[in-house]
Structure 1
Amino acid sequence: MEFYFPTEFGEQLAFVSAVITALIGLVVMFAPGLTLRFCGLQPREGMAEGFAAARSHGGMLFGFAAGALLLAQPMVYLAFGAALAMSVFGRVLSVMSDGGSSLRGILLLVVAAVLASLPIAYVFGLT
């Protein structure tokens, strides 16, 4: 089995977006305490549910990104980009409704928007 790396520039950008998301997912899955502190969250003492939720979210990010990398199909990249775009929408709602307009929140919003836009731009031929 050969390692597939795309030859088209647009698909390379979508591929890189999936790689970065997979790496973020691995960090969230294997270092939930560090991730939660970075996001300004802290689970209560003796309660493992916060760590379990973070690990689960990291596993979902990694799994979806790995699926996009392994299948390397436009519709999979579209679903991947759409899922990331919905997380961007959630962050925008947070900025507008919850007062989540801290520097960290805006930075994470921009990163998520860039990661979402790359696969979507590839699918629609914008790159």
Structure 2
Amino acid sequence: MEFYFPTEPGEQLAFLAATIMALVGCFVLLAPGLAMRMAGLDIREGRNDGYGAVRSAGGLLAGFCGTALLLAQPMVYLALGAALGLSVFSRILSIMSDGRSSWRVVPPLVVQAATAALVLSYVFGLI
């Protein structure tokens, strides 16, 4: 079985976006404590249950993006772009409705918005 690397520039950008998000997912999966500290989150009361939830979310992201990389089908990229787009929407909704926000919400929002835009631009033929 051969690993597929795209030849079209638009698909290469979607591939790059999926790779970036897969790496983010692997980071969250393997280092949930560090990822939580970077996001300004904390585990309190001596309970470590939160690590499992964060690790699971990282595994889901890594698995979904890895599947998009391995299958390299437009419909899989559409599903990935839709998921990333909804994630961006939820971050914006959180900023608007949760009250005070810190500067920590901006970098993840920008990364998710850029990767969603790259993936969806390829799917809809804009790049």
TM-score, normalised via structure 2 length: 0.96
Corresponding pairs, count: 127
RMSD of aligned C-alpha atoms? 1.0
Query: If the length of structure 1 is used for normalisation, what is the TM-score?
Result: 0.96
**In 1, distance between residues paired with 2:100 and 2:119?**
26
Instruction: After TM superposition, give the deviation of residue 100 of structure 1 in Å.
Output: 5.2
Check conservation: 2:40, 2:104, Cα contact below 8 A. Answer: no
Correspondence for 1:72: 72
What is the percent sequence identity of the aligned residues? 62
Counterpart Cα distance in 1 of 2:89 and 2:38: 20
The answer (yes or no) to whether the contact 2:14–2:119 under 8 Å persists in 1 is: yes
**2:27 aligned residue:** 27
For the 8 Å contact 1:94–1:100, the answer to whether it is kept is no
Alignment partners' CA distance in 1, 2:24 and 2:53 = 15
Q: Which runs of 5+ in 2 are unaligned?
A: none
Unaligned 5+ residue runs, structure 1? none
2: CA distance, partners of 1:34 / 1:111: 18
Q: Distance in 1 between matches of 2:97 and 2:124?
A: 31
- Is contact 1:82–1:116 with CA below 8 Å preserved after alignment? yes
Moved more, 29-38 or 44-53: 44-53
Q: Which 4+ residue blocks in structure 1 deviate beyond 6 angstroms?
A: none
